[in-house]
Structure 1
Amino acid sequence: MERYDESTNVTIKSIIINVILSIIKVIAGIVGNSSAMIADGIHSASDIVTSLGVLIGNFISKKPHDKEHNYGHERAETLMAFVLSLVLIVVGFEIGFNSLKLLFNLEKVKTPTILPLIIGFVSIIFKEYQYYITIKVANKINSPSLKADAWHHRSDSLSTVGALIGIAGSMLGFKILDPIAGTLVSLFVLKVGLDILKISANELMDYSIEKEDEQKLINLALNTNGVYNVKSLKSRRHGAMAYVDLIICVDSEISVYEGHEIAHNVEEKIIREIEKIKGVTVHVEPRNNNCKICKSNKKNIDF
């Protein structure tokens, strides 16, 4: 439950900051005659929506398993990351589309005052702070939705950088800098959105755990007393957690009870040593004398 509390706390903090920044940016854009800052304020408001999505994902994910969801609700985090990636892609297209429109209509780019420039610098500081505290917690608790939200904060920061370049360029007489900077920012936001979309889509399709974790898991099983071989390993992500299915080979002469105890020891060791593993199912097969690995007593993986 603690991981969800950490995620909720940092998300609520982000929502409060975004509400304040959105209001200040829009007011500064109107008073300071900057359409770029008004658009940036609306972009900041979109962060509020995605952060609310993270809160909803946390609320669903921490619910215990039930009859309809035997494996729990952790995948709600991945589903929310998928939705947030789509929001990032839409935001990226919107920034790019608006920038390209201005690129061919430079007469519509107004000359702003210094107020939006000051507010923009302040906004970047706060957005980078939001990114830092959010990605730190996201990596700590391995939350896909929180990682997506962190990158949305970073995209807002980059959007503001583009707005500042445009504002400064307009003030100096180089109006074309505004749409060019906006277009480059949109490409970065799109890339981040597509990367998160790919990761979350893979997890929704039972993407396996990292190769390093698989190897660590295999070594833990092989180093358990009574295990001769790991015949098969399958894993699937479930939000921030993962489930593992193993087939191990044991001495064909031992009792069912002894085989069960070996399997139980493998399960306990894996769950204890690898934090992200939520459940392990171990199937026991008798040592095969026709198997070169089992016959030689050399512990290895046979698939």
Structure 2
Amino acid sequence: MQRYDESRNVTIKSIIINVILSVIKVIAGIIGNSSAMIADGIHSASDIVTSLGVLIGNIIAKKPHDKEHNYGHEKAETLVAFILSLVLLVVGAEIGFDSLKLLFNLNEVKTPTLLPLVVGFISIIFKEYQYHITIKVANKINSPSLKADAWHHRSDSLSTVGALIGIGGAMLGFKILDPIAGVIVSLFIIKVGIDILRTSSNELMDYSIDKEEEEKLIKLVLNTKGVYNIKGLKSRRHGARAYVDLTICVNRKITVYEGHEIAHNVEERIIKEIENIKGVIVHVEPNNTNSCEMCKYNKKNIDF
């Protein structure tokens, strides 16, 4: 449960910061005559919604397995990441659309005061702080929803950079810089949204563990006493963790009990030595010289 506590703590901290930033940005935009800063404040407010989504996802994910969910609820984190990616895409498209409208209606771009510029710089410092503390915890506990939330903080920071360029340009008389910066920032946000959407979609469709993890697992299994070869290997992501299905070949002359002990040792080693593997199922088959030559993973074709 420690991973969920870490996620909850950093998310609550982000919510508090975002509430303060959203209010300050909107007020600064209204007083400082800056539509860009008002829009940026609304973008910050969307971070509150996504962070609340992460909290809800964590509450669901840490629930133990039940009759309807035999494998637990960890995919709630991936589902939240999927939803957050859609939010990022919508936010990015909205910023881009509004910026394009201003690009063809420069008369609507007002000259702002210094206040929103100062608030923008302060906002970037806080948003980058949020990104770094969130992504650090996300990588530590391998949380897809928290990674998505971290990139939402970074998108808000990029949005503020665009707003500052626009505000500074407008103050210097170059009003066109405001909408151009907005379009560029929107493209960055949309790209991040697409990346998270692709990752979360793969995980929802039982995406396999990555190649590095798979190679480590294969070598570990083949180095386990009693294992001749690996006839089959399947894996699937389940939120921040994964399940593995293995078929190993053992000496055909040993007893059922001895074969069971080898399979048990394989399971224990995988769970102990490879991070984020939640469960392992090992099927045992008798070793046969001809059939094992056909095994995908055997000691002859693996570089130890």
TM-score for the superposition, normalised by structure 1:
0.97
Structure 2 counterpart of 1:209: 209
Alpha-carbon separation, structure 2, partners of 1:275 and 1:254: 31
* Closer/same/farther in 2, CA of residues 261 and 246 from structure 1, 3 Å limit: same
| Superposed CA offset, 1:61-87 (max 9, x none) | 000001110000000000000000000
Structure 1 counterpart of 2:180: 180
| Superposed CA offset, 1:94-121 (max 9, x none) | 0000000000000000000000000000
Q: Counterparts of 1:26-105 in structure 2 under 5 Å?
A: 26-105=26-105
Displacement of 1:236 in angstroms is: 0.1
Residue 222 (1) aligns with residue 222 (2): yes
Native 8 Å contact 1:128 1:154 kept in 2: yes
Amino acid at match of 1:4: Y
Structure 1 counterpart of 2:239: 239
Displacement of 1:227 in angstroms is: 0.3
| Superposed CA offset, 1:203-260 (max 9, x none) | 0000000111001101111011100001110000000000000000000000100000
Native 8 Å contact 1:287 1:294 kept in 2: no
Displacement of 1:299 in angstroms is: 1.9
Alpha-carbon separation, structure 2, partners of 1:286 and 1:240: 34
Residue 200 (1) aligns with residue 200 (2): yes
| Superposed CA offset, 1:114-143 (max 9, x none) | 000000000000000000000000000000
Alpha-carbon separation, structure 2, partners of 1:200 and 1:292: 36
Can you give the 5+ residue segments of structure 1 that lack an aligned partner in the other structure? Answer: none
Amino acid at match of 1:205: M
Native 8 Å contact 1:110 1:170 kept in 2: yes
Displacement of 1:290 in angstroms is: 1.4
Alpha-carbon separation, structure 1, partners of 2:33 and 2:108: 12
Secondary structure of the residue that 1:67 maps to in structure 2? coil
Amino acid at match of 2:175: K
Q: Counterparts of 1:247-286 in structure 2 under 5 Å?
A: 247-286=247-286
Displacement of 1:271 in angstroms is: 0.4
Alpha-carbon separation, structure 1, partners of 2:225 and 2:299: 11
Secondary structure of the residue that 1:243 maps to in structure 2? strand
Alpha-carbon separation, structure 2, partners of 1:186 and 1:265: 51
Alpha-carbon separation, structure 1, partners of 2:237 and 2:4: 18
Amino acid at match of 2:10: V
| Superposed CA offset, 1:11-55 (max 9, x none) | 000000000000000000000000100000000000000000000
Alpha-carbon separation, structure 1, partners of 2:289 and 2:248: 14
* Closer/same/farther in 2, CA of residues 301 and 83 from structure 1, 3 Å limit: farther
Structure 2 counterpart of 1:18: 18
Alpha-carbon separation, structure 2, partners of 1:231 and 1:210: 19
Amino acid at match of 2:94: E
Secondary structure of the residue that 1:290 maps to in structure 2? helix
Amino acid at match of 2:229: N
Alpha-carbon separation, structure 2, partners of 1:200 and 1:287: 39
